[in-house]
Amino acid sequence: MMHQAPTDMTVAAAGPRAGQGYLSLQGLTKRYHDFLAVEAIDLDVAQGEFVALLGPSGCGKTTTLRMIAGLVPTSGGRIVVAGQDLTAVPPHKRDMGLVFQSYALFPHMTIAQNVAFGLEMRRLPRMEIAARVAEAVAMVRLEGREDRRPAQLSGGQQQRVALARALVVRPSILLFDEPLSNLDAKLREEMRSEIREIQQRLGTTALFVTHDQDEALTMSDRIVVMSHGRIEQIGRPEDLYERPATPFVARFVGRTNRFTGNAHGTTIRLGDLAVRAATQRSGPVEVMIRPHRVALAAAGCVPADGLNSVTGIVRRTTYSGDFVQYLVDADGLTFMVEEATVGHGRIAPAGTAVTLTWAPADTLVYEAAP
């Protein structure tokens, strides 16, 4: 099924042209017996770029990463790095750094030995190994813990060792396989900025697998959204959020109101309601409206010209610190509306009659799924 972008605006997806990336995946495919885990993926990543592979579990993102690392043999397609075809190269000759979800530190080696391992494999002189290990350990702020064993460190410290171990070999590409999902929420946010900072400082190309949209949105130059082994959309965080290419992306990234209706030109009938969109369409459609794009005003307020406007009653109000979420019943539909909390904080309680307004460009219209 083909989805079309909701607006005629060209999505400004930065990034290299097809086949021209520093890392280039061309028709990459993985088949397990009858099951297509990854289906002909094309992706180009520029040198120094930080790209997230985002999707629900089972979408093929980890399999893709493991194919790039050489841990999973491909069933089809090519993996090219800096113009070199690596598809058939075994993992130990690929020169990549992989940071695992489970850290995967060597339990029988000290921190320093863990970090030195990749350098030893590259047969570097002892002096240089010592210098680079010290540098890498300092970079992840673990000085003084070089002689500890992994089991003596906390989860966050272990993950920093794993990062240092992958970074110290100066890999062509740094791969992350959900590295933060075993950490608690506060540590996770610290590690996000730490990883991003180090990656930018070193200018390393990075591919980051995650199922956490916040992680992807806050860390990446570009995000690749995957579902059922295929790419749904590639774009900058703001593109994905404001202009989701498919209903899947709209649902997966951020919260959304979802309706089905019938389009006639720019007018769409949602049950008894008629709303306007910025694009022409006809026939059955799926409509998405971001809750924070809808403004809430007291009933009877006259909306500015050209805005969609709906009246309804607040059914439930949920206060969650930085924003207030309302569920509003209007003409048989329920709208989710989110307003940032402001200083004077007028919060409409349940039962309040309200008018909802939003711009036609914020009515995202998709061809209805068959």
Partner 1 sequence: MTAAAISKVSGRDADFGAAPIALMLLVPITIVNLIGFVLPVANLAILSVSEVRSSGAMTGGWSMAKWLLVATDPFYWELLWNSVRTSLVITALTLAVSYPIALYLHRSTGLWRNALLVMVISPLLLSAVVRTYGWIAILSDQGLVNQGLMALGASEPVRLMFNLTGVTIGLTEILMPYMIVALLAGLGRLDPRVEEAAATLGAPPWRVFVRIVLPLSLPGIALGSLLTFVLAISSFITPKLLGGGRVFLLATEVYDQAMVTLDWPLAATLSIIVLLVFGVALALYGRILRSIG
Partner 2 sequence: MDERPISPILKILAAVGFLFLLAPVLIVVPLSFSGEVFMAFPPESWSLRWYAAIAENEKMLAAFLFSLKLATAVTAVNLFVAVPAAYALVRLAPRGGDAMMGFFTAPLLLPSIVLGLAMLIVFSRAGLLATPQGMFVAHLVVTLPYTLRVIATALSTLPIAVEEAAATLGASPVTVFRRVTLPMMVPGMIAAGSLSFLVSFDEVVLSLFMSGPRLSTLPVEMYNHVENRADPLVAAVSVLLVVFTLVAVVVVDRSLGLAKTFVR
Q: Which residue among 15, 97, 235, 237 contacts partner 2 (CB under 8 A)?
A: 97
The DSSP secondary-structure symbol of 17 reads P
Distance CA 158, CA 43 (A): 31
Helix (H) or strand (E) run with residue 119 in it: helix 111-121
Per rule CB under 8 A, is residue 365 in the interface with partner 2?
no
Q: How many other C-beta atoms lie within 10 A of the C-beta of residue 56? A: 13
Torsion sign (Cα): 99, 186, 190, 134: negative
Contact pick of 51, 166, 216, 354 for partner 2 (by CB under 8 A): 166
> Could you give the CA distance from residue 307 to residue 324 in angstroms, rounded to a whole number?
22
**What is the closest distance, in whole angstroms, from the C-beta atom of residue 208 to partner 1 in the complex?**
16
Assess contact for 23 and 64: CB atoms under 8 A: no
Of residues 99 and 231, the one with the C-beta less far from partner 2: 99
Phi, psi angles (nearest 5°) of residue 188? -60, -45
Query: Which CB atom, from 72 or from 207, has the smaller least distance to partner 1?
Result: 72
Cβ proximity to partner 1, 37 vs 166, nearer residue? 37
User: Considering only residues 40, 46, 80, 104, which one is a binding residue for partner 2 as defined by CB under 8 A?
Assistant: 104
By CB under 8 A, tell whether 360 contacts partner 2: no
Which one of partner 1, partner 2, none is in contact with 108 (Cβ closer than 5 to 8 A by kind)? partner 2
**Which residues of the shown chain bind partner 1 in the complex (CB under 8 A)?**
30, 32, 35, 37, 57-58, 60, 62-63, 66, 71-73, 90
Asked if 348 contacts 341 with a C-beta cutoff of 8 angstroms, the reply is no
Smallest gap from residue 91 Cβ to partner 2 (A):
4
Nearer to partner 2, 69 or 224 (CB): 69
- Residue 227 CB, nearest distance to partner 1 (Å)? 13
Looking at beta carbons only, is 6 or 70 nearer to partner 2?
A: 70
Name the one residue in this structure whose structure tokens are 């094309």: 42
Q: How far apart are CA 242 and CA 234, in angstroms?
A: 13
Least distance between partner 1 and beta carbon 70 (Å): 8
Q: Does 314 bind partner 2 (CB under 8 A)?
A: no
- For the chain, give the number of residues: 370
| Extended strands (E) in the chain | 23-32, 35-45, 50-54, 76-81, 84-85, 96-99, 173-177, 205-210, 222-227, 230-235, 257-270, 273-289, 295-298, 308-319, 323-330, 333-340, 353-358, 364-367
Pick 183 or 333: Cβ nearer partner 2: 183
- Contacts (Cβ under 8 Å, ≥6 apart) of 228: 39, 59, 60
CB of 188 to partner 2, least distance (A): 20
| Total site size for partner 2, rule CB under 8 A | 29
Interacting stretch for partner 2, rule CB under 8 A, among 22-30, 78-86, 99-107, 214-222? 99-107
Do strands 273-289 and 364-367 pair parallel, antiparallel, or not at all (unpaired)?
antiparallel
CA dist 90 and 84 (Å) reads 14
Pick 118 or 235: Cβ nearer partner 2: 118
x/- track of binding to partner 2 for residues 33-72 (CB under 8 A): ------------------------------------xxx-
Site residues (CB under 8 A) for partner 2?
69-71, 90-98, 100-102, 104-108, 117-118, 121-122, 162, 165-166, 169, 175
